Amino acid sequence: MAKPLFLSLSLCLILLFHGCLARSRTAQYQSQNACQLNRLEAREPDHKRECEGGLLESWDPNHEQFQCAGVALLRLTIQPNGLHLPSYTNAPQLVHIIRGRGVLGTIFPGCAETFEESQRGLGGGGQPGSQRDQHQKLHHIREGDIIALPAGLAYWSYNDGDQPLVTVNLVHVSNSDNQLDLEPRRFYLAGNPHDEFPQSRIQQGQGRRSEERQRRREEEKEQQGLPNNIFSGFSVRYIQEAFNVDSETARRIQNQNDFRGSIIRVKDRLDLVRPPRSRQEQEHETRRQELRQAEREHSRRQSSRDNGMEETVCTMRLRENIGDPARADVFSPQAGRLRTVNGYNLPILNWLQLSAERGFLYSNAMYSPHYNINAHGIIYVIRGRARCQVVDDFGRSVFDGELRQGQALTVPQNFAIVKQAENEGFEWVSFKTNDRAKVSQLAGRISYIWALPEDVIANSYQISREQARRLKYNRQEASLFTTSHQSIRPAVTA
């Protein structure tokens, strides 16, 4: 009996593996098929939802540009003393802090609650039956931070500053960690939140019946105030038993008749257990992170493979600041700066298969024509304006226009792009769908043109040897260029 049972289990595992592989290939094919684009658009949010403590805006994930990249995009504005309720998503996220500061809490399953109240705060030993507050580690977040959040990881965020906390969230729905479908799904653990992507359930080809079901679902929710956090689907009795609480508390957990939305306003202030953040402590933390990074790089050079224990799950670093000018990877006093976060300087991104780049072009400066070798890019404009052109594999200009603050543009893998800032400058963040995204420059000191022999250039472009030499060496900068002319506008505007 043991041998047939073993063979049956083996067959089941093989079928499961092939089923997962088939789903992965299907998703990959759908994503690749969606990238047959003849025209790109600079898009602003399609949907807005007002909440008690802020604003939630989202781009339609069914738009072909986002389907091509396999992502969804969301912008949150959390007002001072606002709390974005605990939730998790079906796919990994990159959260970029555009403005403000706050606190972000993550809940790693099975990890200890390492932040706890002092015993002295409860009058020595505390009253009989009293319990000190304990919770998992908190992350202080500020402008310029990138936070990496794995699929299914519950988290919450709170604005403890005096100005709005604005974040842009990218959800990588085509990531292998998402085994549901290519729809962005957020599972709230509290409140009666709005649907963040109200049209995401209506996919092309599903037909009128599916559209009607979705429309009825939205109407019922608006008319009856149906709660849609996870606990609202369980019976009160099960919640009572699970938490060992009374029925009133169980009903409260379901947040019935709660119309505050997914961002609520906190009464008074959140009383959190957290260490102070003096300037000296911040500098010490920065030096400690730099030392850890140097140690990781040394270990990587010593061994060709990671041993998987460089960082434990419970203490892994989720955050890296890419907005600090002093930490730029590429800098030109005349043209601007670039900063990249990837699997090398934030190892958790190896798991999420994502990376990001933040750049700032000074007035009329240019970012060299280039393309992403192994990733799609989703550009979000933080401030300023730029002229931009994107070219596909047929040599067609699929985008020729202006990018301005608050807009998003998808640049498919291998499509070439060039950006030139307007007079006020241009600052952006580009999310990329590979943890070690590679960029190939088409002009400048580290470009393809510098790597070609002069004779190859002369014959390829039918120019003289002297012209080829000037074409190759006239631009000495690496990737950020100064220009002698103002931003070039297209001859015909749409």
How far is residue 217's CA from residue 231's CA, in Å, rounded to a whole number? 18
d(CA 250, CA 241): 9
Residue 493: band (very low, low, confident or very high) from pLDDT cuts 50, 70, 90: very low
CB atoms within 10 A of CB 455: 10
pLDDT in tens, 391-405: 999 999 999 999 999
List CB contacts of 358: < 8 A, sequence separation 6 or more. Answer: 96, 144, 322, 323, 338, 339, 382, 427, 428, 429, 430
314-347 pLDDT, tens per residue? Answer: 778 899 999 999 999 999 999 999 999 999 999 9
292 vs 371, which has greater pLDDT?
A: 371
Mean pLDDT of 346-371: 95
308: pLDDT strictly greater than 50: no
Least confident of 383-397, 446-460, 478-492: 478-492
Q: Kindly tell me if the per-residue pLDDT of 17 is higher than 50.
A: no
Delimit the domains of the chain by residue range: 37-116+133-191+194-227+260-280, 323-482
At residue 214, the pLDDT reads 55
CA–CA distances in Å: residue 269 to residues 82, 159, 161, 232, 257: 9, 10, 11, 27, 23
Give me the pLDDT at residue 271, please. Answer: 74
Q: What is the 3-state secondary structure (H, E, C) of 163-212?
A: CCEEEEEEECCCCCCCCCCCCCCEEECCCCCCCCCCCCCCCCCCHHHHHH
Q: Tokens for 256?
A: 């019935």
Neighbours of 101 (CB within 10 A): 16
At residue 315, the pLDDT reads: 77
pLDDT of residue 312: 66
Out of 2.30.130.10, 2.60.120.10, 3.30.9.10, 2.60.120.1570, select the CATH number for domain 323-482: 2.60.120.10
Out of 7-21, 201-215, 247-261, 463-477, the most confident range is 463-477
Assess whether pLDDT exceeds 80 at residue 11.
no
| pLDDT for the residue numbered 47 | 93
3-state secondary structure of 158: strand
**Model pLDDT, residue 291:** 59
Task: Report pLDDT digits (tens) over 68-99.
Answer: 999 999 999 999 999 999 999 999 999 999 99
pTM, 2 dp: 0.81
In this prediction, residue 268 has a pLDDT band, given cuts at 50, 70 and 90, of confident
Asked whether the predicted pLDDT for residue 44 surpasses 60, the reply is: yes
With H, G, I as helix, E, B as strand and everything else as coil, classify residue 157.
strand
Burial of 355 (0-12, 13-18, 19+ CB in 10 A): buried
Of 467, 412, 423, the residue nearest 34 (C-alpha): 412
Amino acid at 299: S
195 or 350, greater pLDDT: 350
Q: What is the pLDDT of residue 294?
A: 57
Distance CA 359, CA 357 (A): 7
With 0-12 CB in 10 A as exposed, 13-18 as middle and 19+ as buried, what is 305? exposed
| Residue 259 pLDDT grade (very low, low, confident, very high; cuts 50, 70, 90) | confident
Instruction: Determine which of 38-47, 215-224, 346-355 has the lowest per-residue pLDDT on average.
Output: 215-224
What pLDDT does residue 275 have?
64
Best-predicted range by mean pLDDT among 33-37, 212-216, 454-458? 454-458
More confident residue, 302 or 331: 331
The CATH architecture of the domain made up of 37-116+133-191+194-227+260-280 is Sandwich (2.60)
Same fold, 37-116+133-191+194-227+260-280 and 323-482: yes
